[in-house]
Structure 1
Amino acid sequence: MEASKPVITVLMPAYNAARYIAEAIESVLLQTFANFELLIVNDGSTDATVDVIKSFNDTRIVLINRNNGGVAKALNTGLEYARADYIARFDADDICHPKRLEIQYGFMGSNPDYHILGSAADYMDMAGNYVFNYQPPGHSNEQLQYLDYTLCPFIHSTVFYKKDEIIAAGGYDPNALGFEDHLLWRNILKKGKVFNLSQSLIKVRLNPESVTIDEKWCPREFRQIKYSALQKGTISEGQGNELYRIAREQYRPEIKEGAYYALLAKKFLWNNHQPIKARENLKEVLQVNRLDWRSYGLFMLSFLPAGLLLKLYNTIK
């Protein structure tokens, strides 16, 4: 192996992430495993993202600038330029556990027949406050291989994978707007062993500026296209164009803000029972959309005892 070739490429797409990206970069540079490159693909940011990146003086940071084309195209660009055999995915508003790379590289080195390794994650709000812990829907290879196609097997920014396997599978499909990772896992899962660690290795930041919003805030047509594509394992360019049309109409700042607070409210009801915080966030939702009947329903549910609420949630789920 070339002396200058890194063992791991930390692949970080970035779009208008100036508010959070410094903290994300710092968490990578402080890793206990040091033989990596941090490949940041700037996807046409119009804020100070590039200035923040350039403020760091570390030769392991590699910056690629491209015109805005969406996260899938940014990731495919990153795969093209990545020098390492292993890719650690990471988002520009998240925070890495200091031993993330050490732990994931150690697992893959001890288990060379595994192709993808994910982990649990702690979710935080846009201010960095803890909201809840998320465990993936499966951990062992057997659980993940037989997972229902509607469930995404990995938290995208936790995954650590063999670059060649992802490239051989065609990389990320830009037509699968908002679920490009889910569709990729759907097509690659049967080709090798996979695993999710129960340990949380990153903090995922929920914020209204994120491209992905709770799909319940999207029209039914979006969900129909998404799950049809996941069932078939492919999506057409025409379907992709339709998703982009929906996104142009749907991803307005006020809708994304409402979806953000709605998501926080639900997590403070179901995952980390704090009804007062749930109601505070529901009030924010109703400031955006006073006709959102779901928020009124959740507001009423927030007064139920935790045990009864959890039982109701499991019944509905």
Structure 2
Amino acid sequence: MEIFNSINEKKFSVLMSVYKNENPEFFCQAVESVMNNTVRPAEIVIVKDGKLPQRLENVCNKILTQYPRYIHFVPLKKNVGLGIALQRGLLECHYDLVARMDTDDIAKPYRFEKQLKVFAHEASVDVCGGWIEEFSVDVEKIDNIRKVPETTKEIYNFAKKRNPFNHMTVMFRKEAVIKVGSYQHFPLLEDYYLWFRMIINKCRMYNIQEILCSVRTGKSMIARRGGLSYFKNEKKLYDCFYKQGYISAGEYITTLTERFIARIAPKEVRALMYRLFLRG
């Protein structure tokens, strides 16, 4: 069993990706929330996914000046999308444990400490996530809490219909992720596709039954998850599930029917379905 003499002694990386449309204020808040954790990472690897506007470069310069020992930028000449950006960034992470963080969310101050304790006491765990609280404008006014299942068995079953992890909360073993092919290009479903490949490779999974991040949602998120193009990506993913024997024909048809209705529904209806059926 892997034991740390002190949680503070275990070094880990944080992996982020930023692109031209990010909000500079939110980006800055996200980095600050990482650095204000009770246990700090040894490094924050930030992929610059293509050329950034000056307002975002200003934030990059600011955080590099504030935290020169921690910040490591990975600049890409052109925008390649989140999957490939994270794939490139992961190769630049120097430590076996890697925590994902989005550039517009806020990590709870105890997040990394709690996750490191899981890895310290459960040597077989490959990925560990947790719950999130969702807000639109004011982080003090929570709209929803997305809970995800706890154990490997529960996660495997849940993943047949819905994403079993809140991506911005996960910490994983770099070796385990690379072994299954790492992140790949799969627009808006990069993480779900990764979890699927880890599941069929029998990786051990765990979700802490507590809130680890505050996450910005709202109308823009609902809009991104609508339309036929999004459904086609989902169908491609569930095709993989079915071909690998992970889900039955009945589960395949039922899930795709639910997804199709949600994607073509008006935004107000989709928002309701998203909360009741598609988020867990």
TM (normalized to structure 2)? 0.77
- 2:147 aligned with 1:108, yes or no? no
Unaligned residue ranges in structure 1 (runs of 5+): 234-254, 272-312
State the identity as a percent.
23
Alignment of 1:1-317 (within 5 A): 7-15=11-19, 16-17=21-22, 18-47=24-53, 48-56=55-63, 57-58=66-67, 59-66=69-76, 67-126=78-137, 128=139, 129-136=141-148, 138-174=149-185, 176-189=186-199, 190-206=201-217, 213-215=224-226, 218=229, 220-232=231-243, 266=272
How far 1:132 moved relative to its partner? 0.7
Hey, what's the Cα distance between the residues in 1 that align with 2:230 and 2:86?
27
Call closer, same or farther: CA 1:161–1:148 in 2, change over 3 Å: closer
Deviation for aligned residue 1:50: 2.3
What secondary structure, in the 3-state scheme, does the structure 2 residue paired with 1:55 have? Answer: helix
- Runs of at least 4 residues of structure 1 off by over 6 A? none
- Contact (CA 8 Å) 1:150, 1:230: kept in 2 or not? no
Write the letter of the residue equivalent to 1:7.
Answer: K
- The structural deviation recorded for 1:148 is 4.7
* Deviation larger for 122-131 or 177-186: 122-131
1:19 CA displacement: 3.9
The structure, 1 or 2, with the larger RCO (C-alpha pairs under 8 Å, 6+ apart) is 2
Return the alpha-carbon distance in structure 2 between the equivalents of residues 212 and 12 of structure 1: 23
TM-score (norm 1): 0.68
Instruction: Tell me whether 223-232 or 106-115 shows the greater mean CA deviation.
Output: 223-232
Report if the CA contact (8 A) 2:159-2:196 is conserved: no
Residue 197 of structure 1 aligns to a residue whose secondary structure is strand
How many residue pairs are counted as aligned between the two chains? 242
The alignment partner of 2:13 has SS state of strand
CA displacement 1:177-202 (0-9 Å, x = unmatched): 21111111111124221111110000
Residue type of the alignment partner of 2:170 = V
